[in-house]
Amino acid sequence: MAELTRYTCPNCNGVLHFAADARKVTCDFCDSTFDVSELSVADAGDEAKVTLEHSEHAHGMEDFMARAPWSAAEGNLVSHVCSTCGAEIVCDQATVATNCPYCGNVMIASDTLAGRQPQLVIPFTVDRPHAEQIMGRYVVGKWYLPGDFAAELKHIQGVYVPFYLFSGEVEGWARYRGETDHTTGDKDNRHTYTTYSDVYREGEAEFVRVPVDGSSKMPDTHMDAIEPFNYQELTEFNAGYLAGYLAEVSDEDVDECLSRAETRCANTFESKLEHDALRHVDRVSRKDHSTVVDLTRVETTMLPVWLLHSTWENNEMLFAINGQTGRIIGDMPYSRAKRRSTICVCVLVAGVIDFFLLRSLDTDDTWPWILAVVLLIGLPFLVDSHFMSQVRNANIRTEANDAVERGHFEITKRKG
């Protein structure tokens, strides 16, 4: 049975926690402040040194996620001994920082961290009061929300989530059939025809720090959607940053995470090739292609995330806030009646516009009718998509545009 280590204030032996606003570790009792580097945390296997801030909502990640019905993940359990009160604590084998349910201290499972600690970390800059304010502002002002919506915040927890950051190169080519429309004749005798051409693009790109979360408990939809992080603020890992927060080491295989990163890089690369292929033609259809992804560099890191669990009329909602930028993601309920009425109003408005449009134009031409149909379908679709994105915005990312912007993309050969 492993022992849980803890950290205490060098001046008064009081509770320490990492203050996101001050960017320092502070003591709750004597108000002393310390740089993280001042704490003796070089060896994760050393004896007890620092006590972490009590979490009023959850005793550990397995406790937090166990209360959340969206997650059915069950990890392998291990037992630890709290070095403060001697109690036995059972938690997931990937848990690094957890809460003792008997004495209330959040402790570091140093045996879990030893040999598995990440290389880098981005410390929290959004503190708990700020996270709650972000949540409060987020759940109001959405048109599709039910009129009597009032979310009840059940749990909130700051978590350092393990991430793999992949970097490397991508190269490849694609061959397309290009289509270009031409219009001849005058207003009364107009003719449109299409010409076809071969289009070829070859290129290379560098992707820098494509993030993939390494925790099986974290919903990939939420972790992807709170991107991007500012990786310029990455700093060397120190366990002192964990004070006051929960944390886990990665429990997902790096090869599986690599596969996700490769897919995102390939999608982004192929999309950029196609975008360039459209420079001189109206449309392209891909006939053949080859994409080689070579992500040879990986960095392990912990990134700051606030998890918030809310309920409304038996609806369970999970929100995630980027603990560095404050970006919030989460799916909320929507009113079907509001959605139906909004779509109907949009169809009616589009119909009125179409009526006056067709009356003012020469209806013997084809294009006014095409425009009318596009407006009749497109306006309701765009408006509905906008309002739905306000309440449903947790999605898996299939691209890595941010990562290629940190690197470079170059077309090395063009034809057509």
- Residue 256 DSSP label: H
Tens of pLDDT along 107-119?
Answer: 555 555 556 688 9
Q: How far apart are CA 409 and CA 404, in angstroms?
A: 7
pLDDT band per the 50, 70, 90 thresholds, residue 52: very low
pLDDT of residue 204: 96
Element (H, E) at 131: helix 128-138
111: tokens are 């045996």
Element (H, E) at 404: helix 401-406
- Listed ranges 16-30, 60-74, 142-156; the one with the highest mean pLDDT: 142-156
Tens of pLDDT along 198-212?
Answer: 999 999 999 999 999
E-strand ranges in 43-84 read: 77-82
Instruction: Decide if 416 contacts 202 (C-beta within 8 A).
Output: no
Residue 396 has pLDDT above 60, yes or no: yes
Residue with tokens 């960017």, as numbered in its chain: 23
26: amino acid identity, one letter? T
Q: Could you give the residue ranges of the DSSP H alpha helices within 23-127?
A: 61-66, 110-113
Q: How far apart are CA 138 and CA 413, in angstroms?
A: 46
Q: Report the percent of the chain where pLDDT is more than 70.
A: 71
CB atoms under 10 Å from CB of 125, counted, come to 17
> What DSSP string describes 343-377?
HHHHHHHHHHHHHHHHHHS-TTSSHHHHHHHHHHH
pLDDT of residue 11: 60
Higher local confidence (pLDDT), 396 or 321: 321
pTM, entire model: 0.74
Residue with tokens 């001994």, as numbered in its chain: 81
> What DSSP string describes 201-233?
EEEEEEEEEEEEE--TTS-HHHHHHTPPP-GGG
Higher local confidence (pLDDT), 24 or 2: 24
Domain borders along the chain are: 2-121
375: tokens are 């407006």
What is the gyration radius of the CA atoms in the chain, in angstroms?
A: 27
Residue 156 has pLDDT above 50, yes or no: yes
